């Protein structure tokens, strides 16, 4: 960070020392700024957005705390949340934390079988659930989580399994008045939450994080990327994921800025126009989709529009590099051309994000350099960070004043990083977990005797800036002995408007293949070019179509080494989503599950060769 870009002091910032615990953080915030806006949420009955101040949130939390107190739960008992992002999510969690309970967040899209496993493994005593339908789907599995005594639902008409936990609607369970919030936990090292990882391979593991782990991480983030009471953050990633929970919930509370909860991913574009956030936190896929959509629209514009857009990107990039101190200033470009192009071209695209983004954060997975450069060239302060649940979660981050798009930035204050064997990133920080719930032996597999967390990520570190190069366990080794990290290939492919998702395969095979999910509109154009019916699935197997796709891939991957050539493709129109179990919460590929689902298609890619084991 350049000297003149040092963070401005945050008024009313609450320190870790003052907060002590996560519930203490809320009570401190209420005392500091009781009347400032805390949250916005859409009221579906009234069909309008409603704003709640910190004092109102405090009163609601006290009611939820009284409801939990009536259940006679003991400190350390686990309680689970199966809700979409909402004020109810916040109030329940804060009430539970203040009583010394351990919160287990669950994903609303998860399968009933997996939710049942997590309830059983965590030994959760109480479950807050969003809809009666969600509970109906869990009822057949009730025998597998006998520790659960009560289910509280935001809706009425709940089924009651017999035998099984009692179920009650929130209107019957929540007291009308709760008095004041009472904090029963004062040890910052006490367990606050068990967050089950939903990785690309293997069963979920419960990461154990303390109050101190999370508070430290929020404060460390604010030391390099300050937020202010005037900021509004639009939250749309699930709070069940540690990335959104720390960065999009505890950090704003510490700084005093407000959070608005998006209605859904489907209505995100509309909500951006309504809320006009100053901060958004996202995973790369959101930015990649906007990038692909703009490129698709440009295909139908004339040569003048293409020239003007490219001029905007070139000028905007030069402006960005100059602001970063990496390029000399040009009076014409900086003071005359860029302001004009910014207003005429760039602003029309950035207005889709609400028009007043102060900075945007991308995390959870690597962001392709071309996509990052695209937004930075349009004037969007887009910064990347890196982290993992086991570190509560942020390890490193770029800042608006020190932004290297090819990296995930330098470590946060008090974070130590070094490179281990096979270029694996090793991390030490006050945010490291205390272990995996019910899996004590797994702890020693990821945190060694010297306290270093083995991340599994392959990196390069240059001048303290970390660049992610792949995963140790996601290296494809072909039968010829070539080692290929698939992630970079896949990110390059999905940047093209034709491809919605891409997964490279070829472990133990003589060449690489790829499963490609096509966007509907570009697919219809491609099929029409060859006189094929796009609605007929057999059209995806047409030799001319496959040859055209392979040719396009070779062009897209021309900058990669020869061993990265993809020879065969399996074309799909299926949806890959969190809900159907093919993507993680941060929209990364669940490789094992995808391979299992498309075993026969992958076999066809290697017909005549040994098939995958």
Q: For the segment 494-516, what is each residue's pLDDT rounded down to a tens digit?
A: 989 999 999 999 987 888 999 99
Cα–Cα distance list, 496 to 371, 502, 524, 593 (Å) = 11, 11, 15, 24
Give which of 15, 586, 8, 588 is closest to 245, Cα–Cα: 586
Contacts of 578 (CB under 8 A, 6+ apart): 107, 109, 584, 585, 587
Pairing between β-strand 48-53 and β-strand 37-43 as defined by DSSP bridges: antiparallel
For residues 556 and 493, give the distance between their C-alpha atoms in angstroms, rounded to a whole number.
7
Q: What's the token pair of residue 132? A: 């009666």
| 540-578: pLDDT as tens digits | 999 999 999 999 999 999 877 777 889 999 999 999 998
Mean residue pLDDT across the chain: 91
pLDDT tens column, 512-524:
999 999 999 999 9
Chain-centroid distance of CA 553 in Å reads 28
Q: Note the pLDDT of residue 215.
A: 98
Q: What is the pLDDT of residues 155-198, one digit of tens each?
A: 987 766 667 799 999 999 999 999 999 999 999 999 999 999 86
The 10s digit of each residue's pLDDT in 58-91 is 999 999 999 999 999 999 999 999 999 999 999 9
Half-sphere CA count of 330, side-chain side, radius 13 A: 16
Judged against a pLDDT cut of 80, whether residue 479 lies above it is answered with: no
pLDDT digits (tens, 9 = 90+) for 303-350: 999 999 999 999 999 999 999 999 888 777 766 899 999 999 999 999
Alpha-carbon distances, residue 513 vs 21, 383, 574, 595 (angstroms): 50, 32, 18, 12
- CATH code of the domain made up of 475-605: 3.30.300.30
Total number of residues shown for the chain: 613
Sequential DSSP letters for 270-333: HHHHHH--SEEEE-HHHHHHHHHHHHHHHTTS-HHHHHHHHHHHHHHHHHHHHHTTSS---HHI
Q: What is the pLDDT of residue 175?
A: 96
CA 513 centroid distance within chain: 28
Q: pLDDT digit string (tens) for 366-402?
A: 788 889 999 999 999 999 999 999 999 999 999 999 9
Q: How far apart are CA 217 and CA 432, in angstroms?
A: 10
What is d(CA 129, CA 153) in angstroms, rounded to the nearest whole number?
5
Instruction: Using alpha carbons, list the distances in angstroms from residue 512 to 498, 564, 578.
Output: 20, 7, 26
pLDDT reading at 286 higher than 90: no
Instruction: Delimit the CATH 3.30.300.30 region(s) of the chain.
Output: 475-605
Sheet containing 424-428, strands listed edge to edge, beginning at the edge strand earlier in sequence:
416-419, 424-428, 453-462, 465-471
Its CATH class, for the domain covering 14-186+225-282, is alpha beta
Q: Please give the helix or strand (H or E) that residue 493 lies within, else none.
A: helix 486-494
pLDDT > 70 in the chain, percent: 95
Share of the chain above pLDDT 90, in %: 77
DSSP 162: S
* Span of 24-28, 157-161, 227-231, 526-530 with lowest mean pLDDT: 157-161
E strand residue ranges, 437-579: 453-462, 465-471, 476-477, 483-484, 499-505, 512-518, 566-572
Is the pLDDT at 139 greater than 70? The verdict is yes
CA–chain centroid gap for 253, Å, is 19
Lowest mean pLDDT among 196-200, 464-468, 483-487: 196-200
pLDDT of residue 611: 36
Query: CATH 3.40.50.12780 spans which residues of the chain?
Result: 14-186+225-282
Can you tell me the distance from the alpha carbon of 391 to that of 217, in angstroms, rounded to the nearest whole number? 8
């Amino acid at each position: 960070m350049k000297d003149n870009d040092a963070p401005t002091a945050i008024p009313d910032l609450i320190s870790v020392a003052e907060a002590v615990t996560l519930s203490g953080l809320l009570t401190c915030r209420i005392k500091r700024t009781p009347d400032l806006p805390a949250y916005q949420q859409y009221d579906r009955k009234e069909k309008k957005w409603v704003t709640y101040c910190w004092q109102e949130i405090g009163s609601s939390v006290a009611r939820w705390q009284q409801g939990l107190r009536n259940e006679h739960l003991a400190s350390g008992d686990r309680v689970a949340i199966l809700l979409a992002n909402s004020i109810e999510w916040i109030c329940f969690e804060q009430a539970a934390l203040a009583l010394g309970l351990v919160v287990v967040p669950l994903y609303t899209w998860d399968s009933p079988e997996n939710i049942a496993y997590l309830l059983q493994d965590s030994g959760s005593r109480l479950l807050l659930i969003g809809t009666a339908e969600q509970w109906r789907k869990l009822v057949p599995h009730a025998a597998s989580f006998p520790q659960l005594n009560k289910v509280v639902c935001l809706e009425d008409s709940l089924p009651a399994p017999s035998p099984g936990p009692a179920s009650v609607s929130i209107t019957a369970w929540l007291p009308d008045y709760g008095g004041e919030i009472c904090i029963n936990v004062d040890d910052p090292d006490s367990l606050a939450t068990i967050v089950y990882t939903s990785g690309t391979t293997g069963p979920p593991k419960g990461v154990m994080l303390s109050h101190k782990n999370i508070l430290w991480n929020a404060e460390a983030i604010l030391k390099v990327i300050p937020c202010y009471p005037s900021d509004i953050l639009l939250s749309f990633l699930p709070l069940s994921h540690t990335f959104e929970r720390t960065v999009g919930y505890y950090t704003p509370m510490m700084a005093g800025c407000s959070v608005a909860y998006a209605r859904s991913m489907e209505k995100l574009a509309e909500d951006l126009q309504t809320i006009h956030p100053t901060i958004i936190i996202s995973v790369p896929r959101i930015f990649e989709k906007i990038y692909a959509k703009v490129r698709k629209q440009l295909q139908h514009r004339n040569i003048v529009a293409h020239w003007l857009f490219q001029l905007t990107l070139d000028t905007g990039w030069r402006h960005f590099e100059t602001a970063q101190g990496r390029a000399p200033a040009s009076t014409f470009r900086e003071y005359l051309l860029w302001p004009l192009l910014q207003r005429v071209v760039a602003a029309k695209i950035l207005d889709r994000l609400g028009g007043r983004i102060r900075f945007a954060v991308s995390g959870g997975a690597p962001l392709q350099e071309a996509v990052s450069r695209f937004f930075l060239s349009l004037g969007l302060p887009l910064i990347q960070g890196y982290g993992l649940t086991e570190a509560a979660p942020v390890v490193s981050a770029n800042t608006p004043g020190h932004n290297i798009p090819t990296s995930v930035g330098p470590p946060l204050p008090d974070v130590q990083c070094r490179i281990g064997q096979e270029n694996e990133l090793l991390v030490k920080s006050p945010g490291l977990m205390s272990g995996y719930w019910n899996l004590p032996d797994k702890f020693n597999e990821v945190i060694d005797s010297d306290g270093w967390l083995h991340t599994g990520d392959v990196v390069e570190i240059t001048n303290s800036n970390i660049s992610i190069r792949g995963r140790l366990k996601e290296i494809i080794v072909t039968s010829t002995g070539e080692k290929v990290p698939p992630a970079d290939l896949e990110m390059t492919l999905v940047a093209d408007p034709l491809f919605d998702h891409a997964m490279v395969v070829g472990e133990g095979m003589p060449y690489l293949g790829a499963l490609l999910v096509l966007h509907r509109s570009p697919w219809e154009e491609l099929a029409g070019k060859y006189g094929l019916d796009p609605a007929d699935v057999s059209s995806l197997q047409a030799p001319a179509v496959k040859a055209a796709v392979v040719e396009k891939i070779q062009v897209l991957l021309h900058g990669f080494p020869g061993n990265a050539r993809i020879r065969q493709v399996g074309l799909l129109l299926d949806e890959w989503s969190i809900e159907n179990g093919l993507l993680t919460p941060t929209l990364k590929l669940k490789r094992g599950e995808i391979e299992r689902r498309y075993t026969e298609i992958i076999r066809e890619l290697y017909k005549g060769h040994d098939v995958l084991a």
